[in-house]
């Protein structure tokens, strides 16, 4: 791999693609050439970036000749079609879709948890689900210290998880409601503002878990390298523009009091403690938006378990940033 590398972004016009560009600039990620790739309808558009005018190119099988790192955020179907093509052309693909996450030959990486897995790539590295990333960053330090036997998590997921169009519709619904107009319902087929509902992914008729919940269960076991870890999840959409929250209950293998847990979490990478009991200030999506760190608070022993054997935490993380683009950029930094 050349250093600085040739970098391609597949899906550059989407919310995560645009976040890739902001992070490359903010983190001063080095590149010798940057290729901006998107669908045919976006090809030919130009915009200025870092003092240069770029033209968006149509994503084709020939887009990856000479590319060293390919950042993908264009959906699973595109990743399945073009990811192997990019890898065969010599690029290392960092894919933000679910296409390769559970492939046993593809590393699934959260840099704060299993950075060493990057070494095992065979041309493609998978970025985990956004909710999985946010949970794993917060749970891993506890799992390392005393072992986690069981995780019960409820998510409060923002519109950003469904893309820029869902964020736009939530804003439009606010305008509709304020004007007394009919509520626009093109994305989720229901009113989103002043409402919450079960995550919009498909529900397995046998298990009752939806796809988002199943991702968190399976991906966490793979990332932690612990098939015995039990995870139970309920995923919910809430009328928030950006940044997911999660209520996490842990059953521990060894005792850990809340003060020791707070110290562990405060020292862990990628975490910022927001836990003011007196002022009732804890993680909130507005505070987490556009932030790199996962905010962790409401740290307390679980009153429903034996003393020291259970822990409650509440977290907030920017789904577009740490839950997607930042995690991928951190993986790219590991490659360099």
Is the separation of the CB atoms in 78 and 16 below 8 Å? no
Q: Considering only CA atoms, which of 315, 308, 316 is closest in space to residue 261?
A: 308
Alpha-carbon span 302 to 167, nearest angstrom: 35
Q: Is 282 a catalytic residue?
A: no
DSSP three-state, residue 223: helix
Q: Is 245 a catalytic residue?
A: no
H or E, element range at 244:
strand 244-252
Alpha-carbon span 35 to 276, nearest angstrom: 45
Alpha-carbon span 194 to 196, nearest angstrom: 7
Query: Out of 121, 143, 199, 244, which one is annotated catalytic?
Result: 244
Alpha-carbon span 179 to 96, nearest angstrom: 38
Alpha-carbon span 89 to 311, nearest angstrom: 47
Helix 211-224 crosses helix 130-146 at what angle (to 10 degrees)?
A: 40
Alpha-carbon span 271 to 106, nearest angstrom: 26
Q: Which token pair is 239?
A: 């009328």
Query: Out of 130, 143, 199, 245, which one is annotated catalytic?
Result: 130
Per-residue exposure over 170-184, b if at least 16 CB sit within 10 Å of its own CB, e if not: bebbbebeeeeeebb
Q: Which token pair is 104?
A: 């046993």
Catalytic residues: 130, 244
């Amino acid at each position: 791999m050349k250093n600085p590398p040739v970098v391609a972004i597949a899906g550059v016009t989407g919310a995560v693609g645009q976040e890739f560009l902001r992070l490359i600039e903010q983190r001063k990620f080095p590149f010798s050439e940057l290729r901006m790739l998107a669908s045919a309808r976006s090809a030919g558009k130009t915009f200025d970036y870092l003092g240069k005018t770029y033209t968006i190119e149509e994503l084709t099988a020939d887009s990856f000749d000479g590319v060293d790192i390919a950042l993908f955020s264009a959906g699973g179907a595109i990743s399945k079609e073009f990811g192997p093509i990019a890898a065969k052309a010599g690029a290392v693909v960092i894919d933000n879709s679910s296409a390769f996450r559970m492939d046993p030959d593809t590393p699934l990486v959260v840099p704060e948890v299993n950075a060493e897995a990057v070494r095992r790539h065979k041309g493609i590295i998978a970025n985990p689900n956004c909710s999985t990333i946010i949970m794993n960053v917060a749970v891993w330090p506890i799992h390392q210290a005393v072992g986690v036997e069981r995780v019960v998590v409820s998510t409060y997921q923002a519109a950003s998880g469904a893309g820029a169009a869902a964020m736009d519709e939530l804003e439009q619904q606010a305008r509709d409601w304020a004007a007394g107009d009919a509520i626009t319902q093109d994305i989720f087929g229901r009113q989103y503002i002043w409402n919450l509902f079960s995550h919009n992914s498909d529900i397995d008729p046998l298990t009752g878990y939806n796809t988002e919940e199943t991702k968190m269960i399976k991906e966490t076991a793979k990332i932690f390298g612990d098939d015995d870890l039990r995870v139970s999840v309920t995923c919910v959409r809430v009328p928030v523009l950006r940044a997911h929250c999660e209520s996490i209950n842990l059953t521990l293998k060894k005792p850990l009091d809340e003060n020791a847990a707070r110290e562990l979490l405060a020292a862990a990478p990628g975490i910022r403690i927001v836990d003011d009991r007196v002022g009732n200030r804890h993680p909130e999506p507005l505070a987490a938006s556009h932030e790199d760190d996962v905010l962790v608070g409401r740290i307390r022993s679980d009153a429903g378990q034996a003393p020291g054997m259970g822990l409650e935490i509440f977290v907030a993380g920017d789904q577009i940033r740490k839950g997607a683009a930042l995690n991928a950029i951190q993986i790219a930094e590991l490659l360099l």
